[in-house]
């Protein structure tokens, strides 16, 4: 094996190792700021319970046609919940579990910074999920006054209405690829590089 081929082979395997290390490092990076999954049922509840109390309540309003943070506007995370890394959020996702036909529209506005979050509906027609993301470079900080309204296609039944929700510190994708899949793709790529190296050695 010539010196140039050996050096080329080493560079390829080193690049694969670095890429794999980066992916593993990203996947194990600790969460920071707000990462609060929560759920609820009925006509009202506490924002973040039972995981955390962010200081807000939610309620069915508008003849049970709307789910809204109350009071409106409300200060975000007035209890200053954090994971030792911060107190802000940049994304919110709400999924209907039962008790209402679907979601027709939603809006989250940070009144303190005059930012309106982007809205994406998904999971069927009518939609069963809404994902709201802060504009790039912005965040909903603790104490910011905000409004959050989710409108339904029909009146919710308070007796059976239930949902799951998530506050997050990073954008939420409706079509995100699970981390194990990402890692397996890098594994396949690494195996392919090893196979290429063996072909090079066999040709020498």
Domain range for 75 is 36-168
pLDDT at 1: 53
Any residues with CB less than 8 A from the CB of 70 and at least 6 apart, and which? 44, 56, 57, 58, 59, 61
- The mean predicted confidence, pLDDT, of the chain is 77
162 located within any domain: yes
At 161-195, the pLDDT tens digits run 999 999 998 877 664 433 343 334 334 444 444 45
Residue 68 has pLDDT above 70, yes or no: yes
Q: How far is CA 196 from its chain centroid?
A: 38
Dihedral angle over CA of 180, 191, 20, 9, nearest 10: -170
Torsion sign across C-alpha atoms 177, 88, 56, 63: negative
Number of separate domains in the chain: 1
Provide the whole-model pTM. Answer: 0.69
150 located within any domain: yes
CATH (domain of 123):
2.60.40
134 located within any domain: yes
pLDDT at 14: 44
Report which DSSP code applies to 125: T
152 band by pLDDT with thresholds 50, 70 and 90: very high
- Which two tokens mark 120? 């994406």
pLDDT at 51: 73
């Amino acid at each position: 094996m010539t010196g140039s081929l050996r050096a080329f082979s080493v560079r390829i395997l080193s690049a694969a190792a670095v890429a794999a290390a980066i992916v593993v490092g990203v996947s194990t990076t600790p969460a920071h700021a707000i990462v609060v999954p929560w759920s609820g049922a009925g006509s009202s509840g506490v924002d973040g319970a039972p995981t955390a109390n962010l200081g807000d309540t939610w309620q069915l309003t508008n003849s049970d046609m709307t789910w809204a943070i109350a009071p409106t506007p409300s200060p975000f995370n007035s209890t200053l919940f954090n994971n030792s890394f911060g107190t802000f959020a940049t994304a919110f996702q709400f999924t209907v579990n039962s008790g209402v036909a679907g979601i027709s529209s939603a809006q989250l506005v940070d009144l303190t910074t005059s930012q309106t979050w982007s809205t994406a509906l998904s999971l069927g027609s009518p939609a069963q999920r809404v994902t709201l993301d802060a504009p790039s470079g912005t965040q909903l900080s603790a104490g910011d006054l905000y409004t959050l309204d989710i409108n339904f296609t029909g009146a919710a039944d308070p007796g059976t209405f239930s949902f799951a929700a998530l506050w997050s510190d990073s954008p939420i994708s409706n079509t995100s690829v699970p981390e194990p899949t990402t890692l397996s793709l890098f594994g396949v790529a690494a195996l392919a590089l090893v196979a290429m190296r063996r072909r090079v050695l066999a040709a020498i």
